[in-house]
Amino acid sequence: MTNDAVQKQSNDYGKFESGNKISYSDFEKIIQKEKGISFYNKLLPKIKKRVSDTFKSAGKKLIGEVRSDYNAFEWLGFDFMLDDDMNLTLIEVNTNPCLET
């Protein structure tokens, strides 16, 4: 698991990066060097497609009744996994993602 609720119990939490999180640009540098691919050109479009597909398939359930007087939003957390071959898998979508570090 790669979420804070699980990772923060490890002695290695924060060993490689603060809060076990890195920026897109830092991740780009790492996978360019180690895998020879671009996060921005190869992986981010796939992430956006998975998110878009999720909204297309479940959007009406997430939105509910469309009303002109409805003024709210909901945070969603999309959890992805990459295998050694850089295959992207959507693991889950959280309706109440943890935003703390």
| pLDDT (0 to 100) of residue 1 | 44
pTM of the model: 0.78
Other C-beta atoms closer than 10 Å to the C-beta of 39 total: 20
Other C-beta atoms closer than 10 Å to the C-beta of 43 total: 20
In which region does residue 47 sit, left (phi positive, over 0), alpha (psi from -120 to 50) or beta (all else)? alpha
Alpha carbons 28 and 72: distance in angstroms, whole number: 34
What are the average pLDDT values for consecutive 10-residue runs of the chain, which has 101 residues? Answer: 71 85 93 96 97 85 70 82 94 79 55
| pLDDT (0 to 100) of residue 42 | 96
Alpha helices by DSSP H, the chain: 4-7, 24-35, 44-63
| pLDDT (0 to 100) of residue 96 | 76
